[in-house]
Chain A
């Protein structure tokens, strides 16, 4: 029997019980749709993480001051005053795997420009910070090392600050006030988006020379963090070890004692984030697959009902010359048509759901052609697997018994 005739028969049989076929398909639709949407969410998240990590700069090692333990109360990273500017100088000088480093100290302040004002982070640093972080300028240029040495009142603003303070006004050359001191804006940074590990807005920041921050805004001498650039991606691991050894030595920490600082390698963070999003993708996909299997069981169930209902038809077909293979093929193809139609609708449903997630939740959802192909194949496989037993049952019927069936 030719495939076209079998398909026509299958289509008729399914069309005869539209509601039943539709409900059966629904299982596969939800299953395939869920797989596509969930894999899309997972892969979208994974890609977003990758992009953000790439945006941080690849060879970056991050050194933060340590935690304080005050009578058992531990306050988290960045609390001690142990990290000093000289530590940074030592790192550049004494660690061969390190190419350059930039200091970081922070405060928060109300920034005023004309009639507008904005509360944001003010970070003190040196010009190489932007190179290390791979952070480009939309307008203007960074302040220079000379400006740093002179503790000049210069500011570089992030994109968020620009939008909130300046609107349509050209920021470069304008004077803003930070804690009542005037600062001239010399540069505007390109938008960097949310940070990968904390989800905070990296563009909501103002950079000033580290010396200006320490002397005029905070009065502190310690650093919150040091951003280090290793000579290569591989070297970042070596740099991490060298920095740890150097700082333990400089801070006179005895063996067995905890560090009073923290060294983080961004390559590590990237790998960790990538791994976790991969695990998430796999987890989501496997949960979604369960619904696909449930859909398959639905197909099997309805095919068994169909075989019983159509016992007489099977008997007639056998009497006029259908072989066991003919009957088996007919029911198998019916199951596959059912699951493939469900699969096709499921792909549409999955793509729709992905778009909806993107729009409503703002998550990046990546619809990969691979996921669609796998879903289509998987739904066909579900049809074959769960259709096989009912089809076998139909083929094994005795024609004499089947013809007598009422």
Chain B
């Protein structure tokens, strides 16, 4: 594709379907007493619909801070963040909460499920803040659980589920309000290697169906399953490249030995 046609198609696309995420020269610093800690030092990146991006980097590289900004849990100190064409970098807390509710889905390292609340109710949680009626809420929650293959575990409590199953519940929760982007912060950090690949299989499936996924990980084995990797170091993106020879998690699973308990 020539540069001219690319530019042209992009303008067309930005009118019809704008880039999902556009981050322009974003800085983030924290005031810690006298000293100013610079977590992000000018990050610019664009992510389109349907991408599967893995963010890599050592701890302290700024990847978590970046993830919090993408997730609208925090606001940049300077720079712009456009989400689906709207500048969200200076919105108030209430508007950010609405964006987290409708446009974003979160998956955490520690699952962050509410204990003593069933899988179904955990998945239902984001719909409670979305002005949906009871029937629609339950229907969506069941549907989301079905998507992650846990329709037979709806009434189980987190303590009755394995780590992998808990993370699937968390993924279902992230999907329930039909977000544009799924943000996953070290989703396999607490899981053994086979379960990790199982989770990546879920992610690949979802991505195949058009869901945009941004994933933070420090494990190169996990980042291989994404389509694109961003490497953070010292608050900047040092490398941005596509993944060559991307394996299918489903294939990898077949080759892996089953761990017997």
Which residues 101-118 of B have a CB within 8 angstroms of A?
101-102, 106, 108, 112-114, 116-117
Whether A320 lies near B129 (C-beta < 8 A) is yes
B45 at the interface (CB under 8 A from A): no
Query: How far is A313 from B114 in the complex, measured between Cα atoms in Å?
Result: 7
Query: How far is A315 from B108 in the complex, measured between Cα atoms in Å?
Result: 12
B184 to chain A, nearest CB (A): 12
Whether A321 lies near B101 (C-beta < 8 A) is yes
B94 to chain A, nearest CB (A): 5
Whether B100 lies near A321 (C-beta < 8 A) is yes
Which residues 275-333 of A have a CB within 8 angstroms of B?
312-313, 315-326
Whether A400 lies near B73 (C-beta < 8 A) is yes
Query: How far is A325 from B74 in the complex, measured between Cα atoms in Å?
Result: 18
B130 at the interface (CB under 8 A from A): yes
Query: How far is A315 from B100 in the complex, measured between Cα atoms in Å?
Result: 12
B173 at the interface (CB under 8 A from A): yes
Name which of A313, A318, A323 has the most chain B CB atoms within 10 A of its CB: A323
Q: A312-B112, A403-B108, A403-B112 are in contact. Are A320 and B73 (CB under 8 A)?
A: no
B235 at the interface (CB under 8 A from A): no
> Cβ of B94: which chain A residues have Cβ within 8 Å of it?
323-325
In-complex Cβ contact of A319 among B73, B113, B117, B177 (8 A): B73
> Cβ of B117: which chain A residues have Cβ within 8 Å of it?
12
Which residues 50-87 of B have a CB within 8 angstroms of A?
68, 71, 73-74
Query: How far is A288 from B98 in the complex, measured between Cα atoms in Å?
Result: 45
> Cβ of B108: which chain A residues have Cβ within 8 Å of it?
403
Query: How far is A12 from B117 in the complex, measured between Cα atoms in Å?
Result: 9
Closest to A395 in B: B93
Number of residue pairs A-B, CB distance < 8 angstroms:
59
Query: How far is A399 from B126 in the complex, measured between Cα atoms in Å?
Result: 15
Query: How far is A318 from B94 in the complex, measured between Cα atoms in Å?
Result: 10
Query: How far is A289 from B129 in the complex, measured between Cα atoms in Å?
Result: 38
Closest to B137 in A: A5
B191 at the interface (CB under 8 A from A): no
A27 to chain B, nearest CB (A): 26
B125 at the interface (CB under 8 A from A): yes
Which residues 321-348 of A have a CB within 8 angstroms of B?
321-326
> Cβ of B173: which chain A residues have Cβ within 8 Å of it?
320
Query: How far is A399 from B173 in the complex, measured between Cα atoms in Å?
Result: 17
A16 at the interface (CB under 8 A from B): yes
Query: How far is A189 from B260 in the complex, measured between Cα atoms in Å?
Result: 99
Whether A1 lies near B129 (C-beta < 8 A) is yes
Which residues 344-384 of A have a CB within 8 angstroms of B?
none
B128 at the interface (CB under 8 A from A): yes
Q: A323-B97, A323-B98 are in contact. Are A1 and B73 (CB under 8 A)?
A: no
Chain A facing B: main interface SS: helix
Which residues 153-179 of B have a CB within 8 angstroms of A?
173, 177
> Cβ of B177: which chain A residues have Cβ within 8 Å of it?
321
Whether B68 lies near A400 (C-beta < 8 A) is yes
Query: How far is A324 from B97 in the complex, measured between Cα atoms in Å?
Result: 9
Whether A319 lies near B71 (C-beta < 8 A) is yes
Closest to A319 in B: B106
Query: How far is A324 from B92 in the complex, measured between Cα atoms in Å?
Result: 11
Query: How far is A323 from B91 in the complex, measured between Cα atoms in Å?
Result: 13
Query: How far is A400 from B117 in the complex, measured between Cα atoms in Å?
Result: 22
B150 to chain A, nearest CB (A): 18
Closest to B130 in A: A321
Query: How far is A354 from B112 in the complex, measured between Cα atoms in Å?
Result: 50
Whether B126 lies near A320 (C-beta < 8 A) is yes
Query: How far is A392 from B55 in the complex, measured between Cα atoms in Å?
Result: 35
> Cβ of A5: which chain B residues have Cβ within 8 Å of it?
128
In-complex Cβ contact of B93 among A12, A312, A320, A323 (8 A): A323
In-complex Cβ contact of B125 among A16, A317, A403 (8 A): A317
Closest to B112 in A: A316
Q: Given contacts A319-B71, A320-B129, A322-B129, list 7 more A-B pairs with CB under 8 A.
A: A319-B100, A319-B106, A321-B100, A321-B101, A324-B93, A400-B68, A400-B74
21 contacts between A and B (CB under 8 A): A5-B128, A12-B116, A12-B117, A313-B114, A315-B112, A316-B113, A319-B71, A319-B73, A319-B100, A320-B106, A321-B97, A321-B98, A321-B101, A323-B93, A323-B97, A325-B94, A326-B97, A326-B129, A399-B73, A400-B74, A403-B108
Question: A-B pairs with the 10 shortest C-beta distances?
Answer: A321-B101, A320-B126, A323-B97, A321-B129, A321-B100, A323-B94, A316-B112, A399-B73, A1-B128, A319-B106
